[in-house]
Every structure is written in structure tokens, then in C-alpha cells.
């Protein structure tokens, strides 16, 4: 279901990725196409080191504690940018889908207490964990918009955190021939990241992004399916988001996607463009941050929003209208429109 336009703005953002421990460092690396891909401690079936995009944490920790340490700096920046006490601002945090290999069963229960300990203060009682994989950020965004539109809060933070660098995840994706290795070129590079975006009333001065619309769709031919791919789900999500924002596909200046290197997602994106773009256009930029940060799952949507925010603030955005689209391994698809304002 598409969400109507709303006067809600993205006012600041935070990022922690393998190419940068902060917003500016990460976005500068992505703009320059710099990656941090390196051999990890994991070995594939051929005895080769698995290449990944790992965030350097000192001291190194694992599991849910690692997710909390990734998420804390990104969240702290956003909470500190609002003119309200950080403990009174709700967080909507997207995380991996429940069926993700290697996911701890107690992850959702432990994440907020560990995050609060890292931040040094309690979290707002309205904060939520939103499982959902790559589209989790879009689901969290809808929750935040509903709260802000109803007047239940002035500010909210939409965030995401994920990690694909675990033995069960590496083993499962290699078994399914989805991991990029020397023996398989049609795969992704596992990564980890945390991202956050501060939402609130439009800024009186300075650059900001208007959250114009969100749309969702359902794909009958998900990755691994034997059904022919027509990109029905992503096309549906994109058309709903564009319609709610009052735009056509040709009006866009930039697309930001969760493409991770697997051919399936490139084919889906190309089919979506072919079905939505009725007039020839060569000016729509196409960005996919996973080229630099690897597959970051639930952190993807807030990361894309942060990249758009910095591009607008720094003056290198290709225009005003951004489309961000995300696809899960299952049928779920999401798209959102962001509009640059000053």
C-alpha cells in the first residue's frame, strides 16, 4: 500500500560501514567508488579465503553485541542532532528477517538493552525493532511516519543494522551458490553496517530531504524461483511510490538500489525501468552503495537515504528527485521517493 506525501523531513544521518566509521567518510568513499573488500577469517569449500566488507571494531566482538556497537555511533549522531533529549526520541530499527541463517533467536530481545548501554541512556519507550531484511528500513520508515503524522512525536530515528559475516550465513549462501567466490562470479560480497536517519519537521534553514512517499509490492518470482521473472513486485512498488509523490519515472534524477552484485537483482531493476519508463531518458543516475560496502541487508534503506542526504548537502546530487528501491530474497519489495529541499 502506498503512503501519501507528508511534511516529514530527513534532517541528518549516521553511517558506520567497512569504508568509513562515520557519515562523511562513508559517503566520500562511495562517491569515489572506494571499497574495503578484503580476505576475512572465513574459508570457502575450495579452501580459499572468503572476501568480505568488515567494519574494524576494537575490541572485536560478535553476535548481538556487535550489532549494538555498530548501531550506537550512527544512532548517537542522529539523536544528538535534534533539539530534544535523546531518550525522548523513538528509534525504529530494521534488522534481518527471522529466517536469516546465523541469526540469534534472542537478537530482537537483546539489541535494545545493549544499545542503551552503548549510548549511555535509556531508549524511548515507543522504540521498535522491525525485522524485514533489505526492506526493513522501509517498514521502519512507515512506522515512524505514522507516529510523526499523528503528532505522537516531533522527531524519530529510522535505523538499520545487519551483519552477513557469520559462519552459518557464509556456509548457507555458498551452498546456494550466492556468495562471490573464485568459483562463482554470480554472487555477493558479505558485509556489515549500521545506518540511521533523523526524521522531523522540515528545517527552516539548510538542506533537507522531504520523505515524499513509500510504496510496496509483492514479487511472484523471487530469487531461486522457477517462475519467469517479470519484476511485477518491484514495478508495483515503484509505480505506487511515484503515483503517491505525483511523479513519473522520467521525472527522476537518481535511483538508489540495494543491488548487491547478483545478476537476478540487476535483471529485476532493468525490467522495472523498462516497464515504468515510457519515454527515453539518459539523465537518471543509478547508484548502488553495495559496490563499496558489500551486502548490508537491513541497513540498506537508511544507508541509501543517508547517501542521498549527503549528496544533496554537499552539492553533488544529480537533481532533486530520488527513488530508492529495495528487494528481499522473498516476495517483498519496497520503494520510496525523496525530494531534495533547501
What's the average pLDDT block by block, 10 residues per block, for the chain (342 residues)? 62 97 97 96 94 92 95 97 96 96 93 98 97 97 96 96 96 95 95 97 86 97 94 98 96 96 96 87 89 98 98 96 97 97 86
Give me the pLDDT at residue 277, please.
86
Helix and strand counts by DSSP (H, E) for the chain = 9, 12
Report the residue count for the chain.
342
For the range 86-90, what are the long-range contacts, defined as Cβ-Cβ under 8 Å and sequence gap of 24 or more? 86/119, 86/121, 87/121, 87/122, 87/123, 87/124, 88/124, 89/124, 89/153, 89/155, 89/156, 89/157, 90/123, 90/124, 90/125, 90/126, 90/127, 90/128, 90/144, 90/147, 90/153, 90/156, 90/157
For 119, the grid coordinates are 549510548
The distance in angstroms from the start CA to the end CA of the chain is 29
Contacts of 83 (CB under 8 A, 6+ apart): none
Domains of the chain: 9-200 (3.40.47.10), 208-341 (3.40.47.10)
Complete DSSP assignment for 169-208 = HHHHHHHTT-B-BTTBSS-B-BBEEEEEEEEESPPSSS-E
Could you tell me if 19 and 293 are in contact, meaning their C-beta atoms sit under 8 angstroms apart? yes
Give me the pLDDT at residue 334, please.
98
Give me the pLDDT at residue 1, please.
41
From 101, 165, 156, select the one nearest 133 (Cα to Cα). Answer: 101
Exposed e or buried b per residue across 73-95, where buried means at least 16 C-beta atoms within 10 angstroms of its C-beta? bbbbbbbebbeeebebbbbbbbb
pLDDT digits (tens, 9 = 90+) for 27-62: 999 999 999 999 999 999 999 999 999 999 988 899
pLDDT digits (tens, 9 = 90+) for 272-289: 999 998 776 678 999 999
Amino acid at each position: 500500500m502506498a503512503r501519501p506525501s507528508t511534511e516529514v523531513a530527513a534532517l541528518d544521518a549516521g553511517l558506520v560501514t567497512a569504508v568509513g566509521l562515520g557519515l562523511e567518510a562513508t559517503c566520500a568513499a562511495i562517491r569515489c567508488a572506494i571499497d574495503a573488500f578484503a580476505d576475512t577469517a572465513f574459508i570457502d569449500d575450495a579452501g580459499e579465503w572468503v572476501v568480505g566488507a568488515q567494519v574494524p571494531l576494537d575490541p572485536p566482538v560478535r553476535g548481538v553485541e556487535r550489532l549494538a556497537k555498530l548501531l550506537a555511533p550512527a544512532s548517537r549522531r542522529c539523536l544528538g542532532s535534534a533539539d530534544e533529549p535523546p531518550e525522548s526520541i523513538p528509534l525504529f530499527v530494521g534488522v534481518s528477517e527471522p529466517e536469516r541463517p546465523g541469526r540469534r533467536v534472542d537478537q530482537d530481545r537483546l539489541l535494545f538493552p545493549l544499545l542503551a548501554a552503548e549510548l549511555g541512556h535509556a531508549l524511548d519507550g515507543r522504540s521498535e525493532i522491525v525485522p524485514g531484511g533489505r526492506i526493513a528500513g522501509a517498514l521502519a520508515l512507515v512506522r515512524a511516519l505514522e507516529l510523526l503524522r499523528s503528532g505522537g512525536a516531533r522527531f524519530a530515528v529510522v535505523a538499520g543494522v545487519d551483519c552477513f559475516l557469520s559462519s552459518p550465513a557464509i556456509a548457507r549462501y555458498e551452498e546456494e551458490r550466492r556468495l562471490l567466490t573464485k568459483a562463482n562470479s554470480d554472487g555477493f560480497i558479505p558485509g556489515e553496517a549500521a545506518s540511521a536517519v533523523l526524521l522531523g519537521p522540515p528545517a527552516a534553514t539548510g538542506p533537507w530531504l522531504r520523505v515524499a512517499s513509500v510504496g510496496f509490492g509483492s514479487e511472484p518470482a523471487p530469487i531461486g524461483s522457477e517462475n519467469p521473472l517479470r519484476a511485477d513486485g518491484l514495478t508495483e512498488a515503484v509505480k505506487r511510490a511515484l503515483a503517491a509523490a505525483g511523479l513519473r519515472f522520467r521525472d527522476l534524477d537518481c535511483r538508489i538500489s540495494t543491488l548487491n552484485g547478483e545478476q537476478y537483482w540487476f535483471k529485476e531493476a532493468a525490467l522495472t525501468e523498462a516497464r515504468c519508463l515510457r519515454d527515453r531518458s539518459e539523465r537518471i543516475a543509478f547508484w548502488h552503495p553495495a559496490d563499496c560496502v558489500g551486502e548490508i541487508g537491513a541497513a540498506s534503506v537508511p544507508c541509501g537515504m543517508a547517501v542521498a542526504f549527503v549528496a544533496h548537502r554537499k552539492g553533488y546530487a544529480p537533481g532533486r528527485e530520488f527513488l530508492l528501491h529495495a528487494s528481499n530474497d522473498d516476495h517483498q519489495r519496497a520503494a520510496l521517493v525523496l525530494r531534495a529541499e533547501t
